[in-house]
Structure 1
Amino acid sequence: MDSNMFSSFVRILRESHVILLKNRSLMASIAILMLVLHSFLVSCKFFFLRLLLKDFAMKETRLFFTSPDSSQYTNLVTAVTADVRLLAALGWFFVLALSMASLFQAATAVLATAIAHGKGNLSFRDLLSRVFKPCKRLIITWFYVSVFDLGYLVLVSMSIFTFTVNFASPYRPTTFVYVILIPVLAFLIFLAVVWSMSVVISVLEEKSGLESIGKASQILKGLKGQGFLLNLVYGAIALMVHIWWYLVTKKKGTYDSLFLALILVNVTCLIKMSHMMAFTVFYHICMFNHGEEVELQGSLEYTKLPNEPMLIGAGAP
């Protein structure tokens, strides 16, 4: 591993930690708000879906013991169909609500970190009042990133399935899948460097969608190795938390599963917040390395000043 790339990676983590310690009150307020918001949504999802599933199971049982020729059977079929539609609608609603909460968290964490990195000062109330404008741009970028992410996963799944059916051993097909998943996931983590940086750009600059993704690719030239390490470290931490949650929930009951789900969501929320803080610091390094310095003004708008490029990880991919 290139020593400059690793030293730059360590510097990003160190600066993120320093910003967190120097702005404990602001960052703690953001974290508490996001934890409460995510916990509320997960709890509502658990209880609403649980009640609806219980009602659906009761109607399905009654349907099994009701004569198909009776009017009661027709009414039950209609009620069961309505429950299925409501289950699907609620499921998509909570997926969208949690996604919007995650985007709001990302925008807040990025904006707060940028202000702190630029030696600015802002209260928690003022931060919340200013975060909604970049959220609009962030939603557009999130849509494009989600499309690219889904397209990559579909393409990879189709390729693996085709190759496994035609070339893999019929006795040990899973071995091939496990082996091929390693480079597939590694390349996905590499692609996610651009996607994560585009999120930061959407918050800090007047760019969104393909424009922010293109800007991310531009400023990441020669520095993607550091971003890959960031995604790898935070991804590995998140994976270990999910594995722990999966192993523990297999032995627990319903209410214990809700408690553990809240732990999972809250820990994941903190990991994502730390990840966005690190990428915001990384954004400033990328800008400076390409001859542009980002200065935070009183209006929270950014101006770019020419500067000599800082040779950090110049040999990185």
Structure 2
Amino acid sequence: MNFWQFFGFVRILKESIQLIPKNGKIMGLITIFYLLFTSIFFLFFKFTSDSLLRDMFIKESFIPISSINGSSLSSLLSSINQNFKLVLAIDFSLIFSYLFISIFSTNTIILISSISYYNKTLNFKDLGIMIFKSCKRLIFTMFYTTIIVIGYFFFCFSMATPFLATSNIYDFSMVIIFVIFAYIIYLYLSIVWVMALVVSIVEEGNYGVMALGKARKIIKGNEMKGFILNILFNLLALFIFWGTQIIIKKWNVNNKNSMLILVNGSCLLKVFELVNYTVLYFHCKKEKGEEEIIELQESIEYSKIYNLPLIIDGSN
């Protein structure tokens, strides 16, 4: 591996920064909507969930007092159980809402970055058509990648379980070393998983297992670039978290506002990360001699031709 191959991620970062202003209005609006909806969902679910939990804890505090009266105790337990079910329902709704926002934002940002890479202009109508066409492929691919991530997590957990069962300091230190090692491996393996998302959006015929296989072929020989990018973005995420903690301590920001800062910072970082992976995808394609016009552009041109008015030749 030569010097440039190792530091090739710098070129990816530079081109990603230059790519963002292209189709900047659409990218800016999508980013604003992404931040806005994420913040609204976060505030709504936090407020509702906290209110229900607070009400549930208050009712629990009355249980010892009401224990003499059986009917009062039964009523309190029933109310606590109902609140608990509502909290679970809200939490699951939050998960599915965030999943929907994540799918939409991932799809849109990669699509805009892909078109911008070829210096093509994009309007909301073309973007809507492409989102509709690629959404199903992305969902399939995200389903498979999620299963793989969960499987990897449980595998690592099962490997660390024997060490967690003991209270030995040596075993505890081994667990920490194992967790760090497992996370480094995860950062390396996840290159293919994230690249598969790009493949499923950009290439019409690849999704699910096929997208994972194609991503593995595309990234081959450029794993170090993706690995360093993963490390960089994880370090940036850590800095965002630390920065939020510093803001809390220095300016006495309340917990809700600090979490809102953390959520928005993480969203902006995700946008930039997706742009970088899209640029990395095209770099890998070029290195393998696959510089043909991608299916996305063909879809745009088709949609434009399809929407032209039909001209009937009346000369005959």
* TM-score after normalising by structure 1: 0.86
Counterparts of 1:162-177 in structure 2, within 5 Å, are 162-163=162-163, 165=165, 170-177=168-175
Displaced runs of 4 or more, over 4 A: 163-166, 246-253
Partner of 1:259: 257
How far apart are the structure 2 equivalents of 1:136 and 1:250? 44
- Preserved CA contact (<8 Å) 1:29 1:124: no
Aligned counterpart, 1:241? 240
The counterpart of 2:180, out of the listed 179, 182, 190, is 182
| Deviation for aligned residue 1:129 | 4.8
Which digits, 9 at most, give the CA deviation of each residue in 1:195-239, with x for residues without a partner? 110111111122222111111111111111111111111111012
Distance of 2:250 and 2:61 partners within structure 1: 27
1:114-155, Cα deviation, whole Å (9 max, x unpaired): 000122111245424532332222122112111111111111
Q: Deviations over 1:238-285 (max 9, x none)?
A: 1221233356558998x8111111111111111111111011111111
Code of the aligned partner of 2:214: K
Q: Distance in 2 between matches of 1:88 and 1:251?
A: 34
Of stretches 173-182 and 153-162 in structure 1, the one that deviates more from structure 2 is: 173-182
The answer to whether the 8 Å contact 1:287/1:294 transfers is no
Deviation at 1:73, TM superposition (A): 1.9
Count of residue correspondences: 299
1:36: which partner in 2?
Answer: 36
Where does 1:213-224 land on structure 2 (aligned, <5 Å)?
213-224=212-223
d(CA) in 2 for partners of 1:301, 1:222: 33
Q: Which residue of 2 aligns with 1:94?
A: 94
AA at the equivalent of 2:65: F
Quick check: which has more Rg, 1 or 2?
2
Amino acid at match of 1:10: V
Q: Which residue of 1 aligns with 2:286?
A: 288
TM-score, normalised relative to structure 2: 0.86
Distance 1:213 1:233, change over 3 A: same
Q: Residues of 2 paired with 1:57 and 1:80: CA distance?
A: 8
Change (3 A) 1:191 1:66: same
- 1-side partners of 2:250 and 2:200: how far apart? 42
User: Is the CA contact (8 Å cut-off) linking 2:39 and 2:263 kept in structure 1?
Assistant: yes
Q: Is the 8 A contact 1:284 1:294 kept in 2?
A: no
For 1:299, what is the secondary structure of its paired residue? helix
Q: How far is the alpha carbon of 1:25 from its aligned partner?
A: 2.0
Letter in 2 for 1:88: L
Task: Measure, in 2, the Cα distance between the counterparts of 1:87 and 1:187.
Answer: 35
Cα-Cα RMSD:
2.4
Distance 1:301 1:141, change over 3 A: farther
Do residues 225 (structure 1) and 224 (structure 2) align? yes
Cα gap change, 1:132/1:260 in structure 2, threshold over 3 Å: closer, same or farther?
A: farther
Q: Distance in 2 between matches of 1:5 and 1:182?
A: 25
Which has the larger displacement, 116-125 or 265-274? Answer: 116-125
Aligned to 1:63: 63
Gaps of 5+ in 1: 303-317
Q: Distance in 1 between matches of 2:250 and 2:155?
A: 36
Q: 1:17 to 1:294 in 2, by over 3 A?
A: farther
2: distance between equivalents of 1:244 and 1:173? 32
1:194 counterpart residue number:
192
Q: In terms of mean alpha carbon deviation, does 289-298 or 207-216 score higher? A: 289-298
**Compared CA separation, residues 191 and 68, structure 1 to 2 (3 A):** farther
- Of Structure 1 and Structure 2, the greater helix share is in 2
Shift of 1:163: 4.2
Aligned to 1:211: 210
Q: Secondary structure at the match of 1:295?
A: coil
Instruction: Tell me by how many angstroms 1:164 deviates.
Output: 5.5
Counterpart for residue 118 of structure 2: 118
Structure 2 CA distance, aligned partners of 1:88 and 1:154?
23
Judge which range, 281-290 or 261-270, deviates more.
Answer: 281-290
Unmatched 5+ stretches in structure 2: 303-316
Q: Give 2:224's aligned amino acid.
A: G
Measured in 1, the distance between the counterparts of 2:78 and 2:51 equals 18
Where 1:21 maps in the other structure, the secondary structure is: coil
* Kept after mapping to 2: 8 A contact 1:68/1:74: no
Q: 1:3-52, CA deviations, whole angstroms, 9 ceiling, x for partnerless residues?
A: 13234312211111111133332221121111101111101111111111
2-side partners of 1:246 and 1:159: how far apart? 33
1:13 equivalent in structure 2: 13
